[in-house]
Chain A
Amino acid sequence: MKEFKLRLKQIFLLLLSLFVFSSCASLPKDAFKLSATSLQDRQLQSRKFTTLNSRMLLSAGAGVLQDMGYTIDESNAVLGVLTASKNADARDTGQILGAITVALLTGVVPPTDKEQNIRICLVIQEALDKQKSSVARITIQRVIWNTEGHISRVESVHSPELYQAFFDKLSKATFLEANQI
């Protein structure tokens, strides 16, 4: 009976490791599919400006990003693309409090988030409707490292408040109103 239990445990561990490895190695099926919310995401991430001067919007965008401490990594005025990044603190009070609680209960201090690298991409496209206007769209991603120096998260940042804050600044910098698309 004891041997049977041991064998069962071995099989379980084998299955578990197979599952973990296979899930690590395979690409998620929806990685290249438009998600159900992609249209909504696009609307949240975009604002319309009544100008066809995409260069002006792009350089104002560069200025706004510089104001926020970003370094411009890539720019293409012809295609209307601007990508910038910065490193920032990633400590979260809630997470640290959680870690302290775990440490008090178990005596082991779990790693917490420490540093993040944030990347913002701004793309200006001509609006497709007949009004002479341009559409600016931003997307944000970040990589977070924990206190042990390991990557704890790689993700896209979906935050309508952050998009709004960015477009408010862009609107002020261009003296143009940022309209919802």
Chain B
Amino acid sequence: MRRLKFGWTMFVAVLLLAGCVSRNSHVISGGSAVELRSFQTRAFDTTDKHQMIRTTIAVLQDLGFIIDKTDEDLGLVTGTKLSGYQIRMSIIVQPRGEKQMAVRASASYNNRAIEDPLPYQDFFSALEKGIFLTAQKID
């Protein structure tokens, strides 16, 4: 009987501890950083950071986002899309080498990080289209 009680107590203790560990681990959780970065990042052949940020803002608007936050120094744009669900997205535009701008996007769907490459591919193809239209001077 005592052994059973001990076993039960241990079981509860393990459950509680397991709960603690997993909760805190989410703070710095995430998949493989290298893999995630690779499909969240695209390099574009331009040195005009300002125009790149502006195009990003326009494309986000095209996709139905509202701009929540911007910071030109950091090259940051954060937006939210509401359409029966919530998507939040942060984009950082930074110089990459002498001739390129790197654009990194990270998004969450209903407050959960999107770690699937496909949505990012869709976003970057919309961004490429936006950059093309800007370069061709088409409103």
Report A's interface with B, CB cutoff 8 A: 27-28, 31-35, 38, 41-42, 45, 73-74, 76, 78-81, 83, 119-121, 123, 125, 127-129, 135, 137, 139-143, 153-156, 181
Residues of A within 8 A of B63 (CB): 32-34, 38
| Interface-located stretch among B9-17, B32-40, B82-90 | B82-90
Is the beta-carbon distance between A79 and B54 smaller than 8 angstroms?
yes
Can you report 28 residue pairs joining A to B where beta carbons are below 8 Å apart? A27-B85, A27-B119, A31-B81, A32-B107, A32-B123, A35-B64, A38-B63, A41-B62, A42-B62, A74-B68, A74-B70, A79-B53, A81-B70, A83-B66, A83-B67, A121-B66, A121-B67, A128-B138, A135-B139, A137-B61, A139-B66, A141-B66, A142-B82, A154-B82, A154-B83, A154-B85, A156-B64, A156-B82
Residues of B within 8 A of A139 (CB): 61, 64-66
| Chain A: CB-nearest residue to B86 | A154
Interface size on B, residues (CB 8 A): 39
A155 touching B61 in the complex, CB below 8 Å, given contacts A27-B114, A32-B123: no
Q: How far is the CA of A153 from the CA of B64 in the complex (A)?
A: 16
* B69 touches A (CB below 8 Å): yes
A32 touching B69 in the complex, CB below 8 Å, given contacts A154-B84, A155-B84: no
Report B's interface with A, CB cutoff 8 A: 50, 53-54, 57-58, 61-72, 80-87, 107, 109, 114, 116, 119-120, 122-123, 126, 129, 134, 137-139
Is the beta-carbon distance between B72 and A79 smaller than 8 angstroms?
yes
Residues of B within 8 A of A78 (CB): 50, 72
Is the beta-carbon distance between A125 and B54 smaller than 8 angstroms?
yes
Is the beta-carbon distance between A123 and B57 smaller than 8 angstroms?
yes
Is the beta-carbon distance between A127 and B116 smaller than 8 angstroms?
no
Residues of A within 8 A of B68 (CB): 73-74, 83
Could you list 19 further interchain pairs (A-B, Cβ under 8 angstroms) beyond the known A27-B87, A128-B139, A143-B82? A27-B116, A28-B85, A31-B81, A31-B85, A32-B119, A32-B122, A42-B61, A42-B62, A73-B68, A76-B72, A79-B50, A79-B72, A81-B70, A83-B66, A83-B68, A123-B67, A127-B139, A137-B61, A139-B61
Residues of A within 8 A of B81 (CB): 31, 141, 156
